[in-house]
Structure 1
């Protein structure tokens, strides 16, 4: 049995579902999968159909593309259209809509926008184009922040002067606290993010059981990982425990990646506040370039417009990100808003909840639910 088969074994899945069903009994629980990668595993493999109906899985704000507000996208488009700028970013950010279109549309208007696989690729472009200024659109949670930090240290060591970073790195704890403080949402626990935890470890989540009484299980991304994490959460419930557990121990260490943490601390500082799509302004929830690397900070090198922009009224990405509604409850889902013509970020990113529902055939969910109500 190879690695993939081991974590998708149907016999093991049936045993886990039987255990989950027994542990749940007649109860009803709601668990939030924080990471968009978990959302896609759930809907790619139909896990919501094999779990007992008393278990509701709620999408969280763990998609790094989805949480970037429209105003920051507008700043990125503005940067891309400046003279002698080559603007670089990951591929999914190219299609995120702003009020003046997306980066892909800016490229069609003549801006030099290029997608890269890592910030180090952007640095190579800077070295190859000394008469241009190269900006890298840095997004993501703690998972991707170390690679941006490495690139800034590399740029400084090489003395590359025509490179800067438009930093939009965010951190996982503050939005989870905001979710837990939201009276509109009832949660019984978290399916905790796996990739982020490889960097930050597991102790960072202790606030959830300690302050809010909500257990959390750090979880991998295969179908059996998700099912086992649900089983572990239900076991805690049955045994009267409330704690952080690590299902993803084959990858995540309790202390995380200490070297990466130290590198990030040398390269970035915490912002006083940052705007999140759907969650508003959250204090101390994002990072900006450390003053020691000020020459590589696009926000210091350019006078960005910095305007804050409301999402289109028809788009309910914010409520989807907060777990208040399901994607099919948005009025434009699957009609005006599709992966080909996205209105909101949740339909753009490979980790977006709306994209998961749409791409894996959950368009009928809305019809079924409306029929059941009527």
Structure 2
């Protein structure tokens, strides 16, 4: 432990020497958890700002896709989903509201549990597949294994690089550098992020999930700035390779097409969402049940989850934070999941 403290102190000294006004965005709920739990922002020079972007997959699921789930419930379908999806708000209500009204909504720990459920009950089962590139291979693998006829998937899988390019192109966030998510990079590698350095001159570092990983990533970025460089450094090289996991990429490519759809807090982002290919349409709940949702209401009144996901606001900027909106009564999606920026700020921020 003392060794880690010594390394941390040395890294902070080096960061202090290289400090310059810079805004670094990370896109990982686990990174935000590490930063807040360990008070890393208080250790960094005031010139070095680290902001959270759209790194929580549950938070990024828009109202439309919750409304689609509720339409499936109205058709008598059994919904299987992760526990933190239950309270994500749709236009008017959540899956938790529907469950309280008697809907058959089951909490599972993964898609394999949802397939097992479909094998046991005599009803249609739809799994809500929320997640980034990290969890998409498991969804693809289950579909390739030909699950039971009464099983299908509502795909809410999203891709990090297109969202980052949207933020960069929009200029809203005015970010200067990026800390890339280690878990996503274990699947897709570092290549999909390279253009942010070559095209937009943005320094980057892939980071793991402990405090030293985060501090080292910040140091690597400042070192690039000091040298006038813009590239992607791989701090998490114990798990991430440049080419990523080729087998995982293969199964994703076999099952999913890439399409454009909105994210929570974002308009339609080009080529950012994974949808099940036509050849597997019997497992695509949107096709199987002919879902069509209209008149979507995106955000609860007063909630600023959208600006928080875009990195232009912090939870403390929201008038509902720690008052009407808290983990026991989440109004916005960013307070629902333990990877949500508001939920993390509520647990680890100062009162």
User: Could you state the TM-score of these two structures normalised by the residue count of structure 1?
Assistant: 0.91
**Matches of 1:16 and 1:97, distance apart in 2:** 41
**Matches of 1:334 and 1:74, distance apart in 2:** 27
The equivalent of 1:369 in structure 2 is none
Cα deviations by residue, 1:165-207 (Å, 9 ceiling, x for unpaired):
0011111111000111122322110011110000000011011
209, 215, 239: which is aligned to 2:203?
215
**Matches of 2:111 and 2:298, distance apart in 1:** 29
Q: 1:147 and 2:138 equivalent?
A: yes
**Matches of 2:74 and 2:12, distance apart in 1:** 53
Partner of 2:86, secondary structure, is: helix
The equivalent of 1:352 in structure 2 is 340
**Matches of 1:171 and 1:128, distance apart in 2:** 33
- Please list every run of 5 or more consecutive structure 1 residues that lacks an aligned counterpart in the other structure: 365-374
Whether the aligned pair in 2 keeps the contact of 1:134 and 1:163 (CA below 8 Å) is yes
Partner of 1:206, secondary structure, is: helix
Whether the aligned pair in 2 keeps the contact of 1:60 and 1:322 (CA below 8 Å) is yes
52, 73, 76: which is aligned to 1:80?
73
Whether the aligned pair in 2 keeps the contact of 1:28 and 1:54 (CA below 8 Å) is yes
Whether the aligned pair in 1 keeps the contact of 2:91 and 2:298 (CA below 8 Å) is no
**Matches of 1:126 and 1:253, distance apart in 2:** 36
**TM alignment of 1:42-57, pairs within 5 A:** 42-57=35-50
Cα deviations by residue, 1:265-288 (Å, 9 ceiling, x for unpaired):
0011111x2011112111111011
Cα deviations by residue, 1:118-167 (Å, 9 ceiling, x for unpaired):
101100111111x200100001110000010111112x1x5x10000001
**Matches of 2:52 and 2:73, distance apart in 1:** 32
**Matches of 2:292 and 2:329, distance apart in 1:** 26
Whether the aligned pair in 2 keeps the contact of 1:201 and 1:252 (CA below 8 Å) is yes
Whether the aligned pair in 1 keeps the contact of 2:92 and 2:297 (CA below 8 Å) is no
The equivalent of 2:105 in structure 1 is 113
The equivalent of 1:161 in structure 2 is 149
- CA-CA distance at 1:310 after TM superposition: 2.4
The equivalent of 1:90 in structure 2 is 82
**TM alignment of 1:1-374, pairs within 5 A:** 5=1, 9-24=4-19, 27-83=20-76, 85-129=77-121, 131-154=122-145, 156=146, 160-271=148-259, 273-307=260-294, 308-362=296-350, 364=351
Cα deviations by residue, 1:222-262 (Å, 9 ceiling, x for unpaired):
00000000000000011111101100001111110000000
**Matches of 1:347 and 1:310, distance apart in 2:** 15
**Matches of 2:290 and 2:284, distance apart in 1:** 11
**Matches of 2:46 and 2:194, distance apart in 1:** 29
Q: Which stretch of structure 1 is more off in the superposition, 341-350 or 70-79?
A: 70-79
Whether the aligned pair in 2 keeps the contact of 1:47 and 1:223 (CA below 8 Å) is yes
- CA-CA distance at 1:305 after TM superposition: 3.4
Structure 1 segments of 4 or more deviating over 6 A? none
**Number of aligned positions between the proteins:** 350
User: Could you state the TM-score of these two structures normalised by the residue count of structure 2?
Assistant: 0.97
